[in-house]
Each structure stands twice: as C-alpha cells, then as structure tokens.
Structure 1
Amino acid sequence: MKVKICGIMDIETGVAAARYGADAIGFVFADSKRKIREDKAKEIVAHLPKEVFKVGVFVNESMAEMERIASFVGLTHLQLHGDEPAASSETLSKPVIKAISFQGNDHLARFNSFPSEYILLDGPKGKYRGGNGLAFDWSEVNTALIYQKKLILAGGLTTDNVAEAIKTIRPYMVDVSSGVETDGVKDLVKIKAFIEKAKSMD
C-alpha cells in the first residue's frame, strides 16, 4: 500500500517520512495552516529520494502559476483541490491528482472521465478544501464508478482506522495529514506508525 504524507513543512519531517517508507510527500500552496513557501518546499524536495512523489496541492490556481511553482520547487505531481475545469487539467505538464469530497456515488461517477490519472477521495469540506481530518462512510463508496483512475483515499485517516479503510476501499494510495499530527504539528512517531500500519495491509 502506497502512502502519502501531506502538509510537510520542514526538511527533518520530510526526510524522516521518506525514510519510514512514504511514497509521496505533499506540499500545500493553497490557503491552509500548512501552507508552505516555495523556497522552503524547494529546499525539502532537494533532500528527498528521487522516486518519492513530490505533490503540490493547489486550489483554483492559474495554470501558469502552478507550472511556475512546479518547475521552481521540483514537483512531480499537481493535486487540484478546487473547482478546476477538465480542460485546464489536460494542459498541465505534470500528472494530475484531482481531489474531490465524497458527496455520493452519482457525484463520484462524473469524475471517471476527468482528465487525471488519479482521483483523491476526501472527506467533507471544512474550513479548508482539504486537510480537515474529517472521515466519511467508506462502505458507501462504489469504487467501480471510477475504474479508470488510481484512487487515493484521504479524510480523517489515522493509525487506528487506516487498516479498515484499506480493506473497505482498496485504494492505490492512502493520504494523511492531520491524522499524524500532535497539537497541529507533524509527529514523527505517528508518521512512522501510520506508514507501518498501512504497508502491513499489502
């Protein structure tokens, strides 16, 4: 099972997460308590293994700005967390992860044809578009509706529930942010435990 640790803000945490087995590291460039400066993200990326995905998280950002940041920082994937039109996704030079909140299967089915390799299925929207730590009922999701996509599961995942989530959804990857934090700060002990638990489900 692949694991993405999102909302990384310092070199030590990013390097440790990769060392523990994270397959993807997420950097938030949209409004969030985890928003990171471009130069800081670039510094972290320089310390990460080549094979680890470096994912930039954006909300309703212009194509030109996403491309500029991706080039400057060294991103490998672009995660679109807003209301970006399909046409814009088709023009981006990096693989796209389209993030959506689960709002029922009728809504989910509309994204099978969205021009992205990945669909990130997140919990309900809170103050921010993502990273709110809100789970949803995984048993309601009909994953067959997005059979063309690699499914990334996010939203309220923790070490305690990730095994059940993986068994229920069988995603390509699980994505965690607040679930590996203590008092709003990434916790290396929790990151290590989460990765070990998720990977034990292979």
Structure 2
Amino acid sequence: MTEPEQGSARRTRVKICGLRDAATVRAMDGLPIDEVGFIFAKSRRQVAPELAAELIAGVRRLRNAEGIAPRTVGVFVNPTLDDLRETLRIAPLDVVQLHGEESPSFCEEAKAAFGIAVWKVLSVTPEDGADPDSDGPRRLRPYIGSVDAFLIDTAGGGTGKTFAWPVIDRYQEAAGGVPLYVAGGLQPDNVVELVRRYSPGGVDVSSGVETEGLKDMTKIRLFAERVQGV
C-alpha cells in the first residue's frame, strides 16, 4: 500500500500503539485514527500473534473519520524473515515497523517477500538535539527507496519522554519526501504544538494515552481529535 505524500497541504496521521484488548479497539470506531499498532517485541504491551489476529479482525470492522478501517501495524525488533513469516501467517498486518538494527536490504527483502509496507524506526539521541551538525538524520538516507515511512523516537523507545523537537526539521529534510512519523513523550497536551510547528507525516502515541498502564479512551479520543483539529 502506498503511503500518503508528506507535505504541509495534508494532515498529520494518527497512530495509536500498544493495543491489547478488544474493548478498546471497538471504542475507537468513528475516531480520526489512521493506524493501530500491536507490539510483538518484548514489552509489557507485547501481544501474541493469536491475540493480535483477533484484534486485527476487530480493527477491520472499524471506520475512522474518513470512513475506512485504520491500518494495522506490527512492531518488531531485529526479526528474521522467518519470524515475520510466522507472525504474518497468523496475524495479517498491513505494516511491519522495525525498531532494531535492520539493514536497508532486509527492509527490501521483507517488502518483497510479504508484499507489505515497511517502516523503519530510528532513535533521536541527545547529541542530535544539541549538535546541529550531528550525523543522526543522515542515517535515514540509506533507507530511502527501501521503506514506506520513517519513525523517529526518543532514544531508548517507550520512555514517555520527548526529544529536542527542533531536530525534526533536519530529519524531515533527510527523509527526502518519505513520510516521517514522530513518537516519544507525546500526549494530548503537547501534540498540538508539535503538529503546528513541524507538520510531521504522522504522530505515534502509546503511554501518553494510558492511565495506570491501561489505554484510556478519553485520552485516545482527545489526542486524535486534537491532531485532526490542527
């Protein structure tokens, strides 16, 4: 599936990640949510492929603000092609999101083998924010042509902390037109500022829409609607 073009004329997409229960999936019906993420890597939000398959079926029945079902995204860290094959055999994802040391050639192999969109995640280090000449954004360039989107996150992932946002402009430039999603410490009270200042291709949130470790539909709704309203 082709990614939407990135640019100031199009809206920022919303991805809600770390889903683990059917009730939350059902409650998302009608909300302006474009992607729903399931974590297969080791995490307190990890789901088994069998549970993910049930939740994916639920997502397929949803209709977002545009009248279509959100895409389903699987989060992996350094999987083998066999790992992906086995997961996809059970859980028919739309997108594979890779958080490890996966090479551009691996991304290409996964796209070719499974006919699926592939996103590559890179961590923004403190040096990226402090040094305007840091090499961080240049890491994207070898992946251009091999992936459908990039996602940048605070180093360490899942920290609930933001990184120095001004570096987003340099990552957008380095992405060469490939859609760029931003994660890391986002929540309903700061996402509007991010979207207004940097117009990323998408925003990705997990802990920022949780209360005591569980997804909170009030926060999910507020987050999605605030992004849509920018």
What TM-score comes out, normalization by structure 2 length? 0.82
- Could you tell me how far apart the structure 1 residues matched to 2:89 and 2:149 are? 21
Counterpart for residue 82 of structure 1: 100
Counterpart for residue 117 of structure 1: 148
Counterpart for residue 48 of structure 1: 59
Give matches, 1:171-182, under 5 Å. Answer: 171-182=200-211
Are 1:45 and 1:73, in contact at CA under 8 Å, matched by a contact in 2?
yes
For residue 20 of structure 2, give the secondary structure of its aligned residue in structure 1.
coil
The amino acid of 1:135's aligned partner reads T
- Could you tell me how far apart the structure 2 residues matched to 1:113 and 1:85 are? 9
Are 1:124 and 1:135, in contact at CA under 8 Å, matched by a contact in 2?
no
Following superposition, which runs of at least 4 residues in structure 1 exceed 4 angstroms of deviation? none
- Could you tell me how far apart the structure 2 residues matched to 1:123 and 1:197 are? 22
For residue 47 of structure 1, give the secondary structure of its aligned residue in structure 2.
helix
- Could you tell me how far apart the structure 1 residues matched to 2:20 and 2:69 are? 19
Q: CA offsets per residue over residues 145-194 of structure 1, 9 Å max, x none?
A: 21231001110001010011112221111100000000111001100000
- 1:18 Cα offset (Å): 4.3
- 1:112 Cα offset (Å): 2.5
- Could you tell me how far apart the structure 1 residues matched to 2:107 and 2:120 are? 9
**1:184 and 2:186 aligned:** no
1:5 to 16, 22, 38: 16
1:62 to 80, 96, 99: 80
For residue 19 of structure 1, give the secondary structure of its aligned residue in structure 2.
coil
Give matches, 1:17-166, under 5 Å. Answer: 17-49=28-60, 51-92=69-110, 93=114, 94-103=116-125, 104=128, 105-114=134-143, 115-125=146-156, 130-141=157-168, 142=170, 143-166=172-195
Task: Point out the structure with max Rg over C-alpha.
Answer: 2
- Could you tell me how far apart the structure 1 residues matched to 2:141 and 2:218 are? 36
C-alpha spacing 1:108/1:8, structure 2 compared with 1 (3 Å)? same
Q: CA offsets per residue over residues 84-123 of structure 1, 9 Å max, x none?
A: 1111110112111101111325221221230111000101
Are 1:112 and 1:149, in contact at CA under 8 Å, matched by a contact in 2?
no
Higher mean C-alpha displacement, 134-143 vs 190-199: 134-143
Q: CA RMSD in A?
A: 1.4
- Could you tell me how far apart the structure 1 residues matched to 2:118 and 2:106 are? 10
- 1:14 Cα offset (Å): 1.7
- Could you tell me how far apart the structure 1 residues matched to 2:208 and 2:197 are? 19
For residue 107 of structure 2, give the secondary structure of its aligned residue in structure 1.
helix
Are 2:104 and 2:142, in contact at CA under 8 Å, matched by a contact in 1?
no
Structure 2 residues without counterparts, runs of 5 or longer: 1-11, 61-67, 129-133
Are 1:112 and 1:148, in contact at CA under 8 Å, matched by a contact in 2?
no
Structure 1 residues without counterparts, runs of 5 or longer: none
What TM-score comes out, normalization by structure 1 length? 0.92
C-alpha spacing 1:168/1:67, structure 2 compared with 1 (3 Å)? farther
- 1:67 Cα offset (Å): 2.4
